[in-house]
Every structure is written in structure tokens, then in C-alpha cells.
Amino acid sequence: MPERCHGAVILLLFGMCVNALGAFVGVNLGTDVSNLPSASGIVAILKTHRITHLRLYNADSQLLKALANSSIEVIVGVTNEEVLRIGESPAAAAAWVNKNIAAYLPGTNITAIAVGSEVLTAIPHVGPVLVPAMYSLHKALVAANLNDLIKVSTPQSMDLIPRPFPPSTATFNASWNSTISQLLQFLKNTKSYYMLNAYPYYGYTTENGIFPLDYALFRSLPAVKQIVDPNTLFHYNSMFDAMVDATYYSIDAFKFSGIPIVVTETGWPWFGGANEPDATIQNAGTYISNLIRRVSNDSGPPSQPTTPINTYLYELFNEDKRPGPISEKNWGILFPNGSAVYPLGLISGRSTGNSSAVYCVVKDGADEDKLEDGLNWACGQGGANCAAIQRARPCFLPNNITNHASYAYNDYYQKSRSAGGTCDFDGTAMLTTIDPSHGSCIFTGSANSRGGGGFSPEAAMGPSGLLPGASSKLQVSSFQLLILFIFSWALMF
């Protein structure tokens, strides 16, 4: 196993914001672990890291008991081995709900049932009974008066979409048209959501260099390498966004709308074999931190900009007992003792003196017309203090739209984020942990700032076209908890 990296690290800080309606990041818990902690130990680890959303692959009775009164929102899994029996027998579905859901309520905060795992691609022979199983489980919830509290869905792989790029032409595998149509109708009827397992790691490693690694890791691309859908001219800043959008377009091809997508699995392995050179601790840390930052901005992919992407990381611990290549055993973000795989407590790069600092700045390659609109809004209706970017003031130079917009965006964000303000500005802004201050120009929120950085209680909401604070929010949970940030590697590898 590689030594832990000490030069650049992630601070695993899962913040909890009660009553926030923004996107969240949760975590999957697999149990093929040699030294798996006890159920109570796992819950203690989750609480220590303030992880508020958990997906289980089965209905583990010890865990469900231990999660009682923790407020952690739980997705309970129906195993692939159980799907066939439940799909063929409504009585079996009712018994499963009574034993694995109702028995733990109201103490354990169960919010969804995930029926199988990638059933249509992993065990296609069970596909014909997948939707009947979902209907039977939903009917059992209705009978128990639990259907408003607990949604039913089924996680599916990106493999169900044979050609995901360009997203605008993506469609589901036609051989599953009947089943997918039934599935989407079920989700629409029950006001549930589509569960997607999206792995840019595999999208990158299996495409033989078609897409750059930076694209898979959420890193900025130079203008000449921007990934653009030729039909919509939407720019995709990450493979993750393109995968989610490909799924939205695939759903749209069936004439369904209003079905949100929740990413139930995504991650990056941090160690692999000799033939898996991209499974490194640096890449894993970069992917996870950039993913958290991306989800935290509360925006959706280009085709659905106001629909946040609630996401579950794969996974809490390394599952060293899993078969397959070395990388398959090394996706965990924590060790079983609760310490982070990516070392904690140090942020390298420009020292801010403030380990919790995060800034809103202009994205590379952002459209200048949109930047001008965003700058004008931030300095006007948004309430940002833009005195520092006026002529002869500390942040006037360099005298360009990118510098001025970054300062205004950040001032708006620092003052409004506690009240729901976001960092989007019509897709021209991004969050960073690198202090953008330079010379005598000190950005609001910097450890060196004497006059800014505080949060005002007022919410400065942006117009719907700019989306700094007016995004519609996907309400999957009953407690509306928000994971704020994992602070990223500041060194760019």
C-alpha cells in the first residue's frame, strides 16, 4: 500500500446546516471489510465526520438499530438476490417492508428504498420483474402509511446508456425500452427520483484517452480543449456533469420530465495495480474534493441548471474482501479506525491561515458577456461591496473583467452564503480553497481581511438567469441537512 501523502491533503469537514435546502453529499457503506467496525462504531464515525446521509446495500439489522435517533438519513437497499422473490410476490414485498423498514421507524430516519444495484446491467434476467418489485414495495408502504416519507427507486449504471456523449443525443439501451418506460412512469407517479451510478474514473480509463484526465477530475480546461456538445453548444466542465446530463436527455427521450436525478454512487480508487496507473491517492483526493465543491454550489448540469445534484460517495471504507482488480478494493475515503485516507488538517498551496476558507471566483474560460452581467448584478442587486475594484483602489488592477468579477462574486458569496446564496452566476463562477488575494488586494473571507469576511443575515437572492441564490432545491430528505465542503488539494498535480 502506498504511504499516505503529506504534501497536499483534504480536510474532511462535513458541515451540517439545519433548514438548508441545498444539495447534499452522502456516502455508501459497503461491508466486505475485514476489520469492519461494530454498528455502533460506524455510527460514531459518521457522527464524528458529520456525515448526514447514508446508503446501505442491504437491510442490516444491527446498523439500522444503531442509526436510531442519529438523524442520519438512510437509504436501505434490497439486495439483487432479493429482487426476484419480491418482484414475483406482493406478499414477500409486504413482509420485507414490515421487517426491514417499519420495524425501525420512527427512530431510524429511513427516507428511501433502493431496489437492487444496477439490476438491468448486472443481472438482466431479473430485469422483467424489477418494476413489479418496486410497485409491490410502494404498495406495502402505502398500506403502512409510509409512502410520503419513503421513496422507492433503483440505482442504474451509466452502462445503460451506450453512447453518453454528446449528452443531447444520449438514449437508454433500446433493448430495455419497455422496462425503462415502466420505470420512469413509476418514478413520475410516485414523485420519486432516478438513481444513477456515475463513475468518471471508468469513463476516463475505458475511453483510451478520448477525454483528458483533467476533465474527469473537475479541473479547468484551456479554451481550446473545452468539451462542448455540438448540438446544444453547452460547455461541460466535467465528465460528471456530462454523465448526469446524458441521463436527463435519455429520460427526456421517453417524453418524461420533472424526474430529478440523484447520483447514488461516484468516487475514485486511491490505489491500484501496475496496470491501473490512474488509481492514485492524488487523483482520488482531487476528484472527491472537487466533486464535493461542485455539488455544494447547488446547481445542476447545463440542461437542468436549477436542479442540484444530490450525491453519495463510493465509499466509506475500503472493501478489501471484494473480488477483482486491486483498485476494486480501494475506494474508501476513511480507514475503519475513522481516520481519513487523505490526511487531515493541512491545506497546502497558498497559506490562508484559515483552514475553513473557501472563495467564489470566475471559472476559466467564462463568457465575458455573462461575466459583465454577473458583475453588474453582484455590485447592484446582489449587494456586494465593490469599492475595492474602483479606479485607484487596491483591487482595481489587473483591470479586467475576470479580476473584477471574481472580487464581486466572492464578496456577494461571503455575505450571503449562510442565508442560501450560492456561487454560480449563470455558470461563470466556481468555489476554490486557494486564496485569490494578491498584493494589497485582500478578498473578503481571507485570513488577512480586516474589513470583510463576515456573513450578513440578509439573503441576497439572484435573478433566475444568474442563479447565485435562487436555485430550486431538490428536497430528498426530511431534515434538509447540507454537507458544505471537503476542502480540496490546493496543489494542482
Which sequence positions are flagged as catalytic? 118, 265
- With residue 153 as reference, give the H or E element that holds it: strand 151-153
Integer Cα distance of 178 and 214 in angstroms: 37
**Number of CB atoms found within 10 A of residue 276's CB:** 17
Report the run of H or E that residue 134 belongs to, with start and end. Answer: helix 130-143
Its sign, for the CA torsion 140, 74, 326, 288, is: positive
327's CB contacts (< 8 A; 6+ apart) are: 269, 271, 272, 273, 276, 279
The Cα–Cα gap between 303 and 249 comes to 8
First to last CA, the chain: 20
Geometric angle at alpha carbon 293, from 291 and 298, rounded to 5°: 100
- Which residues, in sequence order, are bridge partners of residue 56? 29
DSSP-derived secondary structure for 381-445: TT----GGGSTTSTT--S-SHHHHHHHHHHHHHHHHGGGT--S-TTTTEEEESS---BTTB--TT
Helices marked H in 144-302: 177-190, 200-205, 213-216, 239-252, 281-296
Distance CA 136, CA 120 (A): 18
DSSP string, 214-228: HHHTT----GGG-EE
Chain mean position to CA 310:
5
Residues linked to residue 266 through DSSP beta bridges, in sequence order: 313
Exposure letters 194-229 (e unless 16+ CB within 10 A, then b): bbbbbbbbebbbeeeeebebbbbbbbbbeeeeebeb
Q: How far apart are CA 305 and CA 202, in angstroms?
A: 25
Give the single-character DSSP code of 358. -
**Is-contact 366 424, C-beta < 8 A?**
no
Cβ atoms of residues 486 and 11 within 8 Å: yes
